[in-house]
Amino acid sequence: MSWFKGFLINLQFFSTIPIPFSLPMDKKHLERAIQTFPLLGIVQGAIYAGLLYSIMEWTPFSTLAAAFVLWLASILITGGIHLDGWIDSSDAFFSYRDQEKRLEIMKDPRTGAFGVLSVITLLGSKFFFLYEIVGMMDSATYLLALAIPFLSRTVMGVLLVTVRPAKNEGLGALFKNASSKRTLWIYPVYLLGFAGILLFNGVYISLASYLIAVILVTLFLKQKIVEWFGGLTGDTLGASVELTEVLLWMTLWLLHYFAMG
């Protein structure tokens, strides 16, 4: 039951799916929430894949319309919570100030020019990749699209547990303080299970490409989050999700050109 409640905490915090009752926010249940981050990604990915399949198979709408619906769903389902982290982190990073000043900038509710330009670039890039992917998709694309939020939430959990916090307040610190070295023991089980599904469907090159991309972005973020911001915050965690997802969409785009054609 604690696992299920932890999963519901994720839905309350990181999605717009309504959970109309209070949930316990003690250390045990918050740790269960971290352990079910990848399951949250699977649910979100299933929604994306289901929407895409419905539009492509059951409607006369164009590939442009399908790409737009998928792009919009990725914003609406999360409530833009990770985009907010991307904007705040971009404002702080492009200020080129010291770590302490960057943390102050992230707490400022106002959005600067760099945050606006950065989110336009991010969303524009994602829409471009989605449009091209939809135009070239095959049956494996649905499964590979589902994998993207699963892997991005897995990266989120790994960073949360393994990167030191920059401060002892905020959403990031709330979850971080509930974690321990044993928290991530379930993640290899998730990854092996999902890898087995992909291998069963014959997408060997795609699986290898995804894993390489995830390992590289995780190693990069573990170093740069500390270097640029002094440690992890809720905003940098949200920015990490957005960066991981757009890189994986780019990977899927490239796979359609060079491995799935």
Q: What is the 3-state secondary structure (H, E, C) of the chain?
A: CHHHHHHHHHHHHHCCCCCCCCCCCCHHHHHHHHHCHHHHHHHHHHHHHHHHHHHHHHCCCCHHHHHHHHHHHHHHCCCCHHHHHHHHHHHHHCCCCCHHHHHHHHHCCCCCHHHHHHHHHHHHHHHHHHHHHHHHCCHHHHHHHHHHHHHHHHHHHHHHHHCCECCCCHHHHHHHCCCCCCHHHHHHHHHHHHHHHHHHCCCHHHHHHHHHHHHHHHHHHHHHHHHHHCCECHHHHHHHHHHHHHHHHHHHHHHHHHCCC
Looking at residue 261, its pLDDT comes to 59
Q: Which domain holds residue 160?
A: 2-258
- Which residue positions in the chain have pLDDT lower than 50? none
The reported pTM is 0.96
Domain count, the chain: 1
